Amino acid sequence: LTATGSLELARERWGEVALQAQAEERCKHVINALRNWIGWLYWQDVLHPSIEVGIAWLLEAGHVGVSEIWLYSRVIEDSIDTLLTRSRAEAQLASVRRNSVELVALHAAVAEAQAAARVRCSFGDEHGGDTSATVRVRCEFTRGASRVVVGSGGESVELRPSVYALFGPNGSGKSSLLALLSSCARGGALP
């Protein structure tokens, strides 16, 4: 980062990312608190009154006695808890399965990135002149849908210090080419 002069940009960007992560963590905390409150409200204002109304109907119809009210209430609450616990466990299992699939995909992407060839970059002038800022690059690079070929047929492209204009249609590889050239400053590690 120091070699390319983008250290301050990286610090600024990481600061933004850290603030964004903190904001997302706060949102997650608020959502979990809201979810717990809704769960409590659900039990207090929906399930308990429904259970009480159902048992009152059974009592009025003569299907249960007064001594059995607590037993029926407890059995119904335990049954609901069992159903909710089961559905939560199934949701957690689905989440674990999804996360394992994502980890396998991440592992494959990391292995592919580690196996990728490095960019061949050289600096300076091979003919004795002092043009230390001259860069010679030759490689092929695919980034997303863009395929960038710098140099072909064993030839390298030489870029001398100057001002260049880079233009082309969307998806033609302009950003990929700039990422490729900046990789020369990182020892040839592809972005």
Write out pLDDT tens, residues 148-177: 676 666 566 677 777 778 788 887 777 777
Rounded to the nearest 10°, the torsion over CA 135, 137, 143, 146 is 100
Q: State the pLDDT at residue 77.
A: 77
CA distance 160 to 133: 7
CA distance 176 to 148: 7
Burial class (CB within 10 angstroms; exposed 0-12, middle 13-18, buried 19+) of 6: middle
Question: Along the 191 residues of the chain, how does pLDDT read in single tens digits?
Answer: 566 667 777 788 888 899 999 999 998 888 888 877 877 777 777 777 887 888 888 888 888 887 888 888 788 777 777 776 776 777 788 888 898 999 999 888 888 766 665 666 666 555 445 445 566 666 666 666 666 676 666 566 677 777 778 788 887 777 777 777 777 766 666 55
157 has which bridge partners?
Answer: 137
**Which has the closest alpha carbon to 137: 165, 156, 114?**
156
The pTM for the full model equals 0.31
Take residue 16 and report the two structure tokens written for it.
Answer: 């933004």
